[in-house]
């Protein structure tokens, strides 16, 4: 068995030797292989195994260019990035661009780190979008003498949707799409949801069934252990989250429940990302009814996530914003 496969994520937390010195992040900023283990290793174990694999497998030219970061540096990068995603501004999130870009370059140069590189690439995509979103809008052109000023633009139904539409335009679908998407779409349709929503897996995992985040989410639809258990998925030997069929059914069922509670797809997607409790409390405390009304009150990650999902459906399936159908009242009926 290839030991690199089950430990592909978080196996190569590398940075160029000068990465931390050269970057300007926010104040909060990262022998032989170990034998396989029967239980899921802790983050500390993964870091140590990653270092052992780097020592054992990285080519000499990679070792001459990169050094394995210390545990403190790696924890600092992960903690800082997570803080920026959950409580920071777009500008604070954008401040991690160079560190994440350097780490991604190193991961791509290290054998066995493909899943980790995929995760970093998704974070970089968010960071680049946050950097663009943080820029002040260009002022409208001044009207010519005698001209009436143009009417003020209406507030967007989903903020940042147009930004993601520009970013995703022309981006090819993940390599696994041809293999996985027909089955995933069929499952979502069987659960009474628009089949196009199965593309949520591209945003969550890049359509990688073995994807894993440092926070512990796994699979195509990136379920945390507690959420997986609530949806009837096992997380231990085997981990049902990595099963495309089981995880797709669970994701569709969760989305169906969230839409029934919130009555709109933008709010349902926000709850899928940040939790239904957070969305419910924010709506209630601000007497709001739409995602646009509360978007600025949600974490940066969620503000980026909702428009990215909806723009992905537009690019992949031609589903216009606002045209995504509600779930069927009874799965399997029209």
Query: Are both 214 and 118 inside the same structural domain?
Result: no
Query: Are both 285 and 176 inside the same structural domain?
Result: yes
Please state which of the ranges 12-21, 65-74, 223-232, 252-261 shows the lowest mean pLDDT: 12-21
Query: Are both 99 and 205 inside the same structural domain?
Result: no
- pLDDT higher than 60, residue 3: no
Query: Are both 185 and 307 inside the same structural domain?
Result: yes
User: How much is the pTM?
Assistant: 0.81
- pLDDT higher than 90, residue 251: yes
In this prediction, residues 72-91 reach a mean pLDDT of 88
Considering the domain boundaries, does residue 109 fall inside one?
A: yes
Query: Are both 112 and 200 inside the same structural domain?
Result: no
Q: Which of 204, 301, 317, 328 is catalytic?
A: 204
Task: Determine if the peptide bond prior to 238 is cis (ω within 30°).
Answer: yes
Query: Are both 56 and 115 inside the same structural domain?
Result: yes
Q: What is the pLDDT of residue 21?
A: 30
Q: What is the pLDDT of residue 316?
A: 97
* 76, 28 Cβ separation under 8 angstroms: yes
Selected residue with higher pLDDT from 158 and 38? 158
Query: Are both 63 and 99 inside the same structural domain?
Result: yes
- pLDDT higher than 50, residue 204: yes
Tally of domains in the chain? 2
Gap between the Cα atoms of 315 and 197, Å rounded: 12
Strand-pairing partners, residue 16, are: 66
Domain that holds residue 297: 161-317
Encoded tokens for 2? 């290839």
Considering the domain boundaries, does residue 295 fall inside one?
A: yes
How does the average pLDDT of the chain come out, rounded? 82
Considering the domain boundaries, does residue 229 fall inside one?
A: yes
Query: Are both 249 and 298 inside the same structural domain?
Result: yes
Query: Are both 59 and 178 inside the same structural domain?
Result: no
- Catalytic residue at 276? no
Contacts of 73 by beta carbon, 8 Å cutoff, 6+ apart: 15, 20, 29, 30
Gap between the Cα atoms of 209 and 242, Å rounded: 5
Q: What is the pLDDT of residue 293?
A: 97
Query: Are both 115 and 179 inside the same structural domain?
Result: no
CB-based burial label for 186 (10 Å; 0-12, 13-18, 19+): middle
Q: Is 165 left (phi over 0), alpha (psi -120 to 50) or beta?
A: alpha
Query: Are both 262 and 123 inside the same structural domain?
Result: no
Gap between the Cα atoms of 83 and 61, Å rounded: 34
Considering the domain boundaries, does residue 47 fall inside one?
A: yes
> What would the pLDDT profile of 45-68 be if each residue is shown by its tens digit?
456 666 676 777 777 877 777 677
Cα diameter, the chain: 78
Q: What is the pLDDT of residue 70?
A: 75
199: domain CATH number? 1.10.530.10
Task: Please choose, from the candidates 125, 118, 94, 107, the residue with its C-alpha nearest in 3D space to the C-alpha of residue 15.
Answer: 107
> What would the pLDDT profile of 162-171 be if each residue is shown by its tens digit?
999 999 999 9
Query: Are both 105 and 177 inside the same structural domain?
Result: no
Considering the domain boundaries, does residue 8 fall inside one?
A: no
């Amino acid at each position: 068995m290839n030991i690199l496969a089950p430990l592909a994520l978080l196996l190569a937390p590398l940075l160029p030797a000068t990465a931390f010195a050269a970057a300007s992040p926010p104040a909060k900023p990262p022998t032989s292989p170990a034998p396989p283990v029967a239980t899921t290793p802790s983050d500390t174990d993964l870091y140590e195994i990653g270092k052992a694999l780097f020592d054992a497998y990285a080519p000499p030219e990679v070792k001459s260019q990169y050094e394995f970061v210390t545990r403190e540096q790696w924890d600092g990068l992960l903690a800082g990035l997570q803080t920026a995603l959950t409580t920071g501004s777009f500008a604070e999130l954008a401040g991690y661009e160079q560190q994440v870009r350097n780490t991604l370059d190193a991961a791509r140069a290290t054998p066995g780190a493909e899943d980790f590189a995929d995760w970093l690439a998704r974070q970089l995509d968010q960071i680049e979008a946050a950097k663009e979103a943080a820029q002040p809008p260009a002022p409208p052109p001044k009207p010519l003498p005698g001209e009436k000023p143009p009417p003020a633009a209406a507030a967007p139904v989903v903020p940042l949707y147009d930004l993601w539409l520009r970013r995703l335009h022309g981006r090819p679908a993940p390599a696994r799409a041809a293999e996985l998407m027909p089955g995933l779409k069929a499952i979502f349709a069987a659960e009474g949801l628009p089949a196009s929503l199965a593309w949520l897996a591209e945003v969550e995992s890049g359509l990688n069934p073995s994807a894993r985040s440092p926070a512990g989410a796994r699979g195509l639809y990136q379920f945390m252990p507690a959420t997986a258990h609530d949806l009837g998925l096992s997380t231990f030997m085997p981990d049902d989250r990595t099963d495309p069929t089981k995880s797709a059914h669970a994701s569709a069922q969760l989305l169906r429940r969230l839409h029934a509670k919130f009555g709109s797809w933008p709010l349902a997607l926000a709850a899928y990302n940040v939790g239904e409790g957070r969305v419910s409390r924010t709506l209630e405390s601000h007497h709001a009814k739409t995602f646009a009304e509360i978007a600025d009150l949600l974490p940066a990650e969620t503000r980026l996530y909702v428009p990215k999902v909806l723009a992905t459906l537009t690019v992949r399936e031609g589903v216009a914003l606002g045209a995504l159908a509600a779930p069927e009242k009874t799965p399997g009926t029209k």
